[in-house]
Amino acid sequence: IAIGIQDFPEGTIVSLPLAVLQKKRLQPIMMGILSGVAEMVMALLGAFFFTSFHWLLPYGLGLAGGAMLYVTVKEMIPEIYRKEENETLITLGFFLGFYVMLLLDSMLG
Q: DSSP class of residue 56? A: G
* pLDDT per residue as tens digits for the range 65-76: 889 888 877 877
What pLDDT is stored for residue 48 in this prediction? 93
18-45 average pLDDT score: 80
Domain count, the chain: 2
Amino acid 74 reads K
Q: How far apart are CA 104 and CA 109, in angstroms?
A: 8
82-91 average pLDDT score: 78
Q: How many CB atoms lie within 10 A of CB 32?
A: 21
For residue 72, give its domain range: 57-109
Residues 18 and 63 in one domain: no
Q: What Å distances lie between residue 52 and 1, 48, 57, CA to CA?
A: 20, 6, 10
Q: 107, 49, 98, 61: which is closest to 77 by C-alpha?
A: 98
pLDDT at 13 over 70: yes
Residues 48 and 66 in one domain: no
Q: Which residues contact 43 (CB under 8 A, 6 or more apart)?
A: 3
User: Of 9, 27, 52, which one is at a domain's C-terminal end?
Assistant: 52
**Choice between 102 and 32, residue whose per-residue pLDDT is larger:** 102
**C-alpha 102 chain-centroid distance:** 19
